């Protein structure tokens, strides 16, 4: 088992190294100068601008040779320093990200978990009878085929504009500041519902289809037939099928959880929700090197971590993987 994990760890480290390097490279390959941009907003006269430019270029250490910038990057990384944002100067990137992440987690965690649970239950249920299957399956397929932003727009239009039940922008009412009060919490929940619902609906379809396919596969496996031949009640057969079918679904869940940190970009655009996705978009539009780098990095680390956790989880949960390694 040590060899298995050792090899996996190595692959992850290599991937991490390569991904981080690419992350560092990309902003530097894009046209535009972040310092220029930042200064443009300050509307200084030509002389002042030039002095400030040299000052800031030096402060951000952009005047150092490329290889040195690269090494500094790694150095800073290990200190948890992701640089200072030019778009939201002088806030450090790490802080900007820290403020945005809770919104993503708040939005995505319940959406993913609930849709996983409900979708799997529904998929297993649909696999029971042919008629139910024939009506439920097309609906589920249609759901996964629906472009997410369109669903979001429809929900916003229907429940936000026409019925007026929910607001369609922001994380909480613009008239409020963050405070710990019931009205604030209420406002947050009120603003949270539509984006949450749109994500839930879209994810639900995918899980339902996956589970339904897995269950059918398990119900037609040899061990199911054997139990049938020995007169076991449907309940036992279904219980075994469900338990076996859910294993790959767990992998899927872990994968989705891993990408939480990437935020739900489109959701945040449709509903103006201040998460990481929204942040990345703004950072690019304002050519903020460091913010882009930082967000990207954050996402990469999250994804790698999630993948690694899946591998561990699978070994624990599926005896076939565990025992199969003996033969390695």
Partner 1 sequence: MAEAKDKKKRNEFLYFAFRNNKLKVGISIVLFFLVLAAVGALFTKHDPEAFVGPLSDPPSSEFWFGTTVFGQDVFAQFVAGVRATFIVGALGGGLATLIGMLVGFVAGYRGGMVDESLNVLTNIVLVIPTFALLLIISAYFEVRGLILESVFIGLTSWPWAARAIRSQTLSLRSREFVDLARMSGMKPLRIIFTEIAPNMMSYLVMAFILQFGGAILIAATLDFIGLGPTTGFSLGIMMQYAVLWGALPLGTWWWFVPPGAAIAAIVGALYFMNVGLDELFNPKLRET
Partner 2 sequence: MSLRVEDLTVYYQTLRGDVRALESTTFSIADGEIMGLAGESGCGKTTLANGLILLVPPMRHVGGRVLLDDRELPIADVEAMNRFRFKEISVIPQYAMNAMNPTRKVGRMAAELLRSRRIDPKRTLPELEKRLDLVELNRSVLKMYPIEMSGGMKQRMVMVLSTLMDPSLLLADEITSALDVSTQKAVAKMLVDFRDREIVKSIIVITHDMSILYQIADSILIMYAGQLAEKGPTETIIHSPRHPYTKLLITSLPKVGVKHDATRLTGIPGKPPLLLDPPEGCRFRERCPAAFERCRDVPPFVEIEPGHFVACWRETESNA
**What does the binding site for partner 2 look like in residue numbers (CB under 8 A)?**
221-223, 225-233, 235-236, 240, 243-244, 247, 318-320, 323-324
Residue 262 engages partner 1 in binding (rule: CB under 8 A): yes
Nearer Cβ to partner 1 (225/239): 225
Q: Is 224:241 a contact under the CB 8 Å cutoff?
A: yes
Q: Is 262:112 a contact under the CB 8 Å cutoff?
A: no
Q: Is 283:292 a contact under the CB 8 Å cutoff?
A: yes
| Token output for 202 | 């879209």
Number of residues near partner 1 (by CB under 8 A): 52
Q: Angle between the 234-258 and 182-219 helix axes, to the nearest 10 degrees?
A: 130
Min dist CB 206 to partner 2, Å, is 24
Q: Is 152:203 a contact under the CB 8 Å cutoff?
A: no
Q: Which of the listed partners (partner 1, partner 2, none) does 227 bind, with a CB threshold of 5 to 8 Å by partner kind?
A: partner 2
Q: Angle between the 222-229 and 234-258 helix axes, to the nearest 10 degrees?
A: 160
**Which residue, 290, 297, 298, 278, is CA-closest to 90?**
290
Q: Which of the listed partners (partner 2, partner 1, none) does 265 bind, with a CB threshold of 5 to 8 Å by partner kind?
A: partner 1
Among 113, 227, 232, 284, binds partner 1 (CB under 8 A): 284
Q: Report how far residue 194's alpha carbon sits from residue 191's, in angstroms, rounded to the nearest whole number.
A: 7
Among 2, 3, 29, 326, binds partner 1 (CB under 8 A): 29
Q: Which residues bind partner 1 (CB under 8 A)?
A: 11, 14-15, 18-19, 22, 26-27, 29-32, 130, 137-138, 141-142, 144-151, 153-154, 156-157, 160-162, 168, 220, 259, 262, 265-266, 269-270, 280-281, 284, 287, 292, 295-296, 299-300, 303-304, 307
């Amino acid at each position: 088992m040590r060899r298995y994990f050792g090899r996996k760890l190595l692959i992850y480290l290599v991937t991490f190294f390569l991904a981080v390097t690419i992350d560092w490279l990309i902003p530097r390959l894009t046209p535009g100068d972040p310092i220029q941009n930042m200064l443009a907003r300050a509307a200084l006269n030509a002389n002042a601008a030039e002095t400030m430019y040299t000052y800031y270029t030096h402060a951000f250490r952009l005047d150092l040779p490329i290889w040195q910038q690269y090494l500094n990057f790694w150095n800073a990384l290990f200190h948890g320093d992701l640089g200072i944002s030019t778009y939201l100067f002088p806030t450090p990137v790490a802080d900007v990200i820290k403020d945005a992440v809770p919104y993503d987690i708040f939005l995505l965690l319940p959406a993913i978990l609930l849709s996983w649970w409900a979708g799997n239950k529904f998929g297993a249920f649909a696999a029971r009878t042919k008629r139910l299957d024939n009506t439920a399956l097309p609906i589920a397929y249609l759901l996964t085929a629906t472009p997410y932003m369109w669903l979001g727009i429809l929900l916003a239009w229907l429940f936000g504009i026409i019925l007026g039940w929910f607001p369609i922008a922001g994380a909480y009412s613009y008239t409020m500041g963050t405070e710990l009060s019931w009205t604030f919490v209420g406002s947050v929940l009120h603003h949270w519902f539509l984006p949450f619902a749109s994500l839930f609906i879209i994810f639900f379809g995918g899980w339902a289809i996956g589970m339904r396919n897995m269950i059918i596969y398990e119900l037609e496996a040899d061990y199911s037939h054997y139990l049938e031949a020995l007169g076991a009640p449907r309940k036992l057969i279904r219980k075994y099928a469900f338990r076996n079918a859910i294993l790959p679904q767990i992998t899927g869940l872990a994968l989705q959880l891993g990408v939480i940190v990437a935020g739900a970009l489109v959701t945040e655009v449709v509903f103006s929700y201040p998460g990481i996705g929204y942040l990345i978009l703004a950072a690019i539009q304002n050519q903020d090197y460091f913010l882009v780098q930082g967000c990207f990095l954050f996402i990469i680390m999250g994804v790698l971590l999630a993948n690694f956790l899946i591998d561990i989880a699978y070994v624990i949960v599926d005896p076939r993987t565990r025992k199969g390694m003996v033969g390695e």
